[in-house]
A = this chain, B = another copy of it.
């Protein structure tokens, strides 16, 4: 998942696909690399579940799978909120000790 998104070319492909489905050559067109290279990137996006493809006739159509994307999003979110909870508890603790100080 993160592995698949770690490459700038693949992120560009995901960005393109977020605007709608595309064929392999359409995905390749803006990228400065050979078609086989694009196909390799595509294979990674597919095996990570980010993209699904189906071949109709001689053209392969690629579409984004957003449910796979939200997995990555949720992982990040979980770590962020975990951290946030910790900060909140720390805040509570500091407030508490401030009260105790005030009582003295």
Contacts and interface: CB of A to CB of B under 8 A. Distances in A.
A70 B73 CA distance: 9
Contacts of A75: 11
Interface residues of A, number: 27
Contacts of A86: 18-20
Nearest to A10: B2
Main secondary structure, interface of A, reads helix
Contact of A80 (B20, B73, B82): B73
B72 A19 contact: no
B80 A69 contact: yes
A33 to B, nearest CB: 19
B76 A72 contact: yes
Contacts of A73: 73, 76-77, 80
Contacts of A69: 76, 79-80
Contacts of A20: 86
**Taking each of A69, A72, A83, A84, which has the highest tally of chain B beta carbons within 10 Å of its own beta carbon?**
A83
